[in-house]
Amino acid sequence: MKNLYKVVLGFAASAIMTSCTKSELLDYQVAKPASFANQEIIDSYQPLKTYLKPDPNSTFKFGIAGSIGDYLNKGVFYRLANSNFNEIVLGYEMKHGAVVRDDGTLHLDDVKNLLEAAKSNGLAVYGHTLCWHSNQNAKYLNSLIAPIVIPGQSTPTWDIVTEADFETNSNSNYEANPNAKLSFTAVGQGAGGTGRAIKITNDAVRANDWDAQFFFKFSPVVKVGEKYEFSMDVKADENASFPTQAHRAPYQYKHWDFFGNIPATSTWNKYVKTVTITQEMADCGAIAFNLGAKATSYYFDNFTLKKYNAKGSGNAGHAYFFTNQSVKDFWAVQVAHDLPTLQNNQEYTLKFAAKATAEGNIRAELQSSSDYSSNSFGSISLGLGWKEYELKVTTSASNRNRFVISFGDYAGTVYIDNVKLTAAGNTNNLISASDFESGAGEWVGWGDGSTRGLTAQGQGFGGALDQVIEKTPAEKKQLITGALNKFISGMVDTCKYYVKAWDVVNEPMDDGRPFELKTGIGKDKLGSDEFYWQDYMGRDYAVEAFRITRQHANQGDKLFINDYNLEYNLDKCRGLIEYVKYIESRGAHVDGIGTQMHIDINTSKENIAQMFTLLAATGKMIKVSELDMGLGGVKTADATEAHYKAQSDMYKYVIDKYFEIVPKAQQYGITIWSVTDQPENSFWRAGEPIGLWTEGYTRKPAYVGVAEGLRGK
């Protein structure tokens, strides 16, 4: 079909010519460019919803996905949505993460504005989505189930940073410049007539007092607001007074005063100075003693630098902790420490200190790693405070080589410290010891949902470890169920005057185990908006979601469950159908099943047809909930006419098969998830030409495929 333009060029005779020459019309025909012609054909199609024949018995809705902003600004998207579609679904703004604030309150003003605008245009609103694992306010939900922390009670302490008594020749934490000559006194000439002291001789009066300097070094550097105490014993051959400076490191001056001016007489005196670190002193790691103003010898002994610790730490050090999230078989979660091979028929004694966030029991044993046989120390009853334990067991095999603690049937966190294993009757009877001050060493662990590591310094046995009270699984279930009820009831009660269909549960099924629910357990790290309701409410989480929604919705409202990749993984489709059966066996009712269909031109048509067949056989209403289509990874810049033809054909195929296979009474509708091609910076299928319109809202061949599919209905 070539369309031709006629171009007529007229040549008029000159008015001043008197000849009888006749004017002639020259006739040219120019072919219209094919791209223009094809676009005219696309543009000649009517708005998409006009291809749906009026039918009072039909429940079918043709939907568009978008944002509140896109619709309420009443621009091109607003006009396109109103003229081509009869339902809208919000991609994000009706989800938990958009509505629930950090204090648990619901912000629904934007949703209300959308409902009113859609209602004024006769555009139905599909509620999306009430219970999902993503786009959640996970911060709020996790705060509900966080443990109760009771700060440990302790007496503030002065913790030693560094010290020097000059009894050895180690000079790791002090040095001097060449004018400050270092030596040591004889033993017995130190402070108090014991030990020895360091002698610093400045043999001439210097031009500047800092020309003869002694440095006392420490780490880490001081910070603003910290409090330090410095003490030393001091004397001099002649009465003198010398200042101290703050240096970042020796010879890197920062401030003229650090721990004051220190007086020295011919007898030993104790000097003590406490300072609070100012900005001028901050980030310094050395005290400089300026000795150049007096030609004499100085004697220093028993240097000590201490830091004030308001919490108190004493000598508690670190402890080792391990956490189990939920009760399972006791052997399913363990920590272990490898040992040298132990003797057979030998009694061993285990001593350790332990406490826990909840009362319960753990088990300890000596195990053979080759076959997992063991001799058990028995069950150990834990309390909320530190307690020391002593247990004994006699080995019954010659290949015991591992110490194991099993805690799979304990839910909470266990802290252990000062672990010692000894053999009775041996001269050298210490087999293993762990105080965790040098790390966790060879301690390892395993088990789904478990974590382990070291506490902070000062939180070991004898320290002021905060009391952490974990909520029980039953308590967490109750709290999370309440949060789900609050969100669903608030959302549905607000919207039900206009919203008559809801996506209640979204994406429940696991991709790798398509007959099982998704879970966050075992993941290294969850996203900031990721929260798995099912991990706390169990398999019945969807039962509860449908029950709550049904309780608050209008009679006759349609409630859906929805998932993706059902055409790609037919077992996932079957798994979803089985889960629907389970939900209904527990007393809830599911009206419909949504299949998202984020597909491309290479998606198996056979699988698409089989998916619709499986879904139709349920007797439920079926909705294509999020239809968009890529070009098999091809980006917009590389798309060809052939790609767009294939895309148009596939859109038509999906719609044709939906109407062909799904009985009329079960046809809820089809929603186009992305009506325009996606920009390169999009979070969703970035740079892909998946829409019915270009980014600039020019119709594409895909528009024709959809129109022809709807026309076929």
What per-residue confidence (pLDDT) applies to 494? 98
What percentage of the chain's residues is helix, strand, coil (to nearest 5)? 25, 35, 45
More confident residue, 86 or 522: 86
pLDDT tier for residue 641 given thresholds of 50, 70 and 90: very high
| Cα 546 from Cα 285, distance rounded (Å) | 63
Structure tokens at 342: 């132990």
Look up the pTM and report it.
0.61
- For residue 148, the model assigns a pLDDT of 81
Gyration radius (Cα) of the chain, Å: 40
Task: Give DSSP secondary structure letters for 395-459.
Answer: --STT--EEEEE-TT--EEEEEEEEEEEETT-TT-EEEEE--TT--TT-EEE-TTEEEEEPPTT-
Residue, of 29 and 324, whose pLDDT is higher: 324
Alpha carbon distance 414, 453 (integer Å): 11
pLDDT band at 83 (very low <50, low <70, confident <90, very high): very high
Counting Cα atoms < 13 Å in the Cβ hemisphere of 136 gives 23
**Chain-centre distance for alpha carbon 640:** 40
Q: Is the pLDDT of residue 231 over 70?
A: yes
DSSP assignment, residue 16?
T
**Which residues lie closer than 8 Å to 201 by C-beta, 6 or more apart?**
180, 181, 183, 296, 297, 298
Which of 339-343, 481-485, 686-690: highest mean pLDDT? Answer: 481-485
Residue 21 pLDDT grade (very low, low, confident, very high; cuts 50, 70, 90): very low
For residues 629 and 626, give the distance between their C-alpha atoms in angstroms, rounded to a whole number. Answer: 10
In angstroms, the CA 290 to CA 216 distance is 12
Helix (H, G, I), strand (E, B) or coil at 339: coil
The label of the residue with tokens 């621009």 reads 75
Kindly report, residue by residue over 519-571, the tens digit of the pLDDT: 998 887 889 999 999 999 999 999 999 999 999 999 999 999 999 999 999 99
Q: Which is higher by pLDDT, 486 or 355? A: 486
Reduced to 3 states, what is the DSSP secondary structure of residue 534?
A: helix
What residues have CB less than 8 Å from 426, skipping those under 6 apart? none
Is the pLDDT at 456 greater than 70? The verdict is: yes
pLDDT tens digits along 590-603 = 999 999 999 999 99
Collapsed DSSP state (helix, strand, coil) of residue 387? strand
> Which domains are seen in the chain, by residue range?
4-35 (no CATH), 59-142+475-673 (3.20.20.80), 157-309 (2.60.120.260), 320-465 (2.60.120.260)
- Cα–Cα distances in Å, from 456 out to 25, 148, 153, 318, 436? 98, 18, 16, 6, 11
Least confident of 72-86, 139-153, 497-511: 139-153
Task: Name 313's Cβ contacts closer than 8 Å, sequence gap at least 6.
Answer: 154, 157, 159, 457, 458, 463, 464
Q: Please, is 526 exposed, middle or buried when counting C-beta atoms within 10 Å of its C-beta (0-12, 13-18, 19+)?
A: middle
Cα 556–558–563 angle (5° rounding)?
A: 165
Q: What secondary structure letter does DSSP report for 81?
A: H
Contacts of 616-619 with CB under 8 Å at 24 or more apart are 616/661, 616/662, 616/663, 616/666, 618/577, 618/580, 618/593, 619/666
DSSP 8-state class, residue 340: P
pLDDT of residue 587: 97
**Residue written as tokens 């089989």?**
610
- N-terminal to C-terminal alpha carbon distance within the chain: 27
pLDDT score at 542: 98
d(CA 405, CA 450): 13
pLDDT over 80 at 67, yes or no: yes
Query: Which spans in 461-604 are helix H?
Result: 473-495, 534-537, 541-552, 570-585
616 and 664 in contact (C-beta within 8 Å)? no
How many CB atoms neighbour CB 371 within 10 A?
A: 9
Q: Strand (E) positions, 99-249?
A: 124-131, 148-150, 157-164, 174-176, 181-184, 198-202, 213-217, 227-236, 240-247
Structural element, H or E, at residue 533 = none
Mean of per-residue pLDDT scores for the chain? 90
Check residues 87 and 34 and name the one with the higher pLDDT.
87
* CA 125 remoteness from chain centre: 32
Residue 462: pLDDT band by 50, 70, 90 thresholds?
Answer: low
Residue 543 near residue 586, CB atoms below 8 Å:
yes
Q: How high is the pLDDT of residue 29?
A: 63
Burial class (CB in 10 A: 0-12, 13-18, 19+), 162: middle
Strand 157-164 versus strand 501-506 pairing type: unpaired
Give yes or no for residue 436 having a pLDDT over 60.
yes
Which of 89-98, 578-587, 617-626, 673-682 is predicted with the least confidence, judged by mean pLDDT? 673-682
Q: Which two tokens stand for residue 349?
A: 């004694």
Q: Tell me the two tokens of residue 544.
A: 């509860």
Pairwise CA distance, residues 425 & 346, whole Å: 9
d(CA 510, CA 530): 15
Phi first, then psi: give them for residue 531, nearest 5 degrees: -150, 125
Q: Which residues have C-beta within 8 Å of that of residue 14, sequence separation ≥ 6?
A: none
Rounded-to-integer distance, Cα 531 and Cα 538, Å: 13
Query: For position 312, what pLDDT does the model report?
Result: 59
* Number of Cβ within a 10 Å radius of residue 581: 12
pLDDT of 461 reads 75
Please identify which residue in the block is written with the tokens 């067949």. 613
Q: Which range, of 87-101, 424-438, 510-524, averages the lowest pLDDT?
A: 424-438
